[in-house]
Amino acid sequence: MSILEVKQLEKIYCGKVNYTALNGVSFDLEEGEFVAIMGPSGSGKTTLLNCVSTIDSPTGGQIIVNGKEPHELNNDKLAKFRRQELGFVFQDFNLVNTLTVEENIILPLTLDSIPEKAMNKRLKSATELLSIEDLLKKRTFEISGGQAQRVAIARAIIHEPSLLLADEPTGNLDSKAVKDVMDLFASINKSLHTTILMVTHDAYVASFCSRVIFIKDGKLYNEIHCGHNKSEFYGKIIDMLSFLGGERNDLK
């Protein structure tokens, strides 16, 4: 079953000179897939994620999430769709500093008026999975970057979304925290069967996925599947990024 269908997606930014950020991009994500989007700077990968996440609207084409077309919904229905169908994890965590860790995590459920008993059950499941039960009463400024990203992930999965979207989720983390967070994403993908779409410039991070989609100049360029050998997969990702051009650190 396809959780995400992207059909001939087009995004044109209008100005004195029109700029085509996406041009005829099509791909599907099956339920339970873990997929990365990669490409050189300016390739359109963030624009693609923004369109899928409904942060931005496409100029043409279709985006279907779990059988629904979010860009055809009115504002109220779209807000509800985001809360129920999508989970978001960002590079800068986007936690609310005035709330405790617990209050940050249950925020999506509070907005949907979920009963307290159900809320506590989901909170327990998410925090145990992410090993952050002892952080619940802390404020966001009292925890490390790696812990903050765990909290952000817990908030993103607590409402059991159809699709989890991650934008450079390890960009602000040190190397140990990067491995920890990616192990968590892999665990969530396997244990909860959560479908994940992630933008990253880091080949190591992408090697945790089952498939990598490469875009260049706003078009789908290639894709690589993991298979059984993760180190071989990592090597293929490095080779493809080198082939696309630019130093590794420029591929953002």
CATH of residue 154: 3.40.50.300
The answer as to whether 204 is a domain residue is yes
- Residue written as tokens 């700077």? 41
Percent of the chain with pLDDT over 70: 97
The answer as to whether 214 is a domain residue is yes
Three-class DSSP category at 109: helix
> Average pLDDT, whole number, for the chain?
90
The answer as to whether 118 is a domain residue is yes
Region 58-76 average pLDDT:
94
Residue (of 41, 69, 147, 75) closest to 104 by Cα position: 147
* Residue 106 Cα distances to 128, 135, 152, 183, angstroms: 14, 14, 11, 23
**Tokens, residue 3:** 């959780």
Residue 217: its H or E element: none
* Domain extent at residue 85: 30-56+71-250
Start-to-end CA span in the chain (Å): 31
The answer as to whether 22 is a domain residue is no
Distance CA(200)–CA(81), nearest Å, equals 25
The whole-number pLDDT of residue 247 equals 43
* Residue 55 Cα distances to 71, 92, 169, angstroms: 10, 16, 17
The answer as to whether 87 is a domain residue is yes
pLDDT-based confidence at 252, cuts 50/70/90? very low
DSSP string computed for 49-86 = HHHHTTSS--SEEEEEETTB-GGGS-HHHHHHHHHHHE
Could you write out the three-class secondary structure of 89-108?
EECCCCCCCCCEHHHHHHHH
Specify the number of domains making up the chain: 1
- In degrees, rounded to 5, the angle at the alpha carbon of residue 110 between the alpha carbons of residues 109 and 115 is 75
pLDDT-based confidence at 114, cuts 50/70/90? confident
What are the tens digits of pLDDT across the range 240-251?
999 887 544 444
The answer as to whether 10 is a domain residue is no
What are the tens digits of pLDDT across the range 189-225?
998 899 999 999 999 999 999 999 999 999 999 999 9
The whole-number pLDDT of residue 246 equals 52
The answer as to whether 245 is a domain residue is yes
The answer as to whether 7 is a domain residue is no
Residue 202, burial from CB neighbour count under 10 angstroms (0-12, 13-18, 19+): buried
Alpha helices in the chain (DSSP H): 45-52, 75-85, 101-111, 116-129, 145-157, 175-191, 203-206, 230-244
Region 117-143 average pLDDT:
92
Distance CA(200)–CA(31), nearest Å, equals 21
